[in-house]
Structure 1
Amino acid sequence: MNQAEIEAALKAAFLQCEQAFLPLTDRQKEILLKVTVEKLTTQPNIEDNPLDELTLEQRQTLLEFIQDRQRQNQDWKITLLNDWLNNRDSGAVQFIRDEYGFGWLSRVQPIHLAKYKQQLTDETLKVGDRIEVCNALWEWVQPEDSASYEWFPCQVIDISEVSDGDSSYTNCIVRFENGLEFEIQGIDRWNRNNWRFPEP
């Protein structure tokens, strides 16, 4: 983003704050504008990629969020900043605010995302892919107890697209090493967090 785009986005955010009866003072606007433009227009250090600081699951969640915003023609950073300014929960990516903050967010540049862009395009499953699936697919696991999650290697043996009125989603059948087969519905949607590619 260039300086004009940043200023325009922030001014739109300021206007939304005013419309929500939560106006910022002129001094607050000035500080936000100065810091944001300064941080977002400096040349990033390619070697120091903030996305490398995330866990595999956090990075995957963030990349999915970015991809979703792009599909809706929205800037992912502005969406997060609007949430933060309006003290709204950011859903699955709330961890960025809670654990990393504005400083981390401002360090993320397109060049850093480029390293992981291939991961976004490689997420399309194909028959023959080896993946790992989580036990949360077939049993209840406490979300806050990561020790309860178990991952099992398997191979994708069939993929089918399902159209359900206005939406479509992907189902797939996997075969475990013991020969057992299991169908996963909505593997690209609601069950996306329950599978992963094995780490190299």
Structure 2
Amino acid sequence: MTKEEIEAALQAAFDRCDAASCPLTETQKQILLQVAENLTRIQSQPSGDRSPSSTNPLDELTDNEQETFLEFVREQEREDRSWKFQLMNDWLNNRTSGEVQFIRDRYGLQWLNRVKQEHLAEYIERTPDEILKLKVGDRIEVSNSLWEWVQENGPCSREWVSCTVIKVDEIDGNTTCTIRFDNGSEYEIQGIYEWNRYNWRWPSG
């Protein structure tokens, strides 16, 4: 579909919402139109120019944009707030996002939705002793070496298991994280940042 065809389809949807007495706000309409514009731009690129889905979206930012965006994420982390929720809240309420307004203006909602914790960690954890903090509800993968003796060429090889963070406690500088596996069982990991960082990772894909 062309940009004009997508916009016409969206306008028809807006009209149907109005007719059903469920009108969208102007901000909501603008966000949807912006997503459509981004999709059209990506589809119009030659296939060789498109980034694979596995590519880190932060690679698409300029160096200055990366630095500004990552500092924004760090600031939200320090305040124990969701950086993505903050941006979405600004957009839906048509508020400026300050120094990271360029995310909305140049990259849009589609780019924002592609950014995962693993992408942020890839950049943030390049700095020694800097770790993207875990929060309750985060999905991570943990290594079986937490509870099994794993050797490179031994009978038990290293495997990764998906789980959900259900509790994070910091006591005397050490952080304990409780996780819940998909089968319902729970496991407590001592020193999740301090000495067990090697045994967990952000899920890819």
Give the structure-1-normalised TM-score.
Answer: 0.38
Greater C-alpha radius of gyration: 2
Give the structure-2-normalised TM-score.
Answer: 0.37
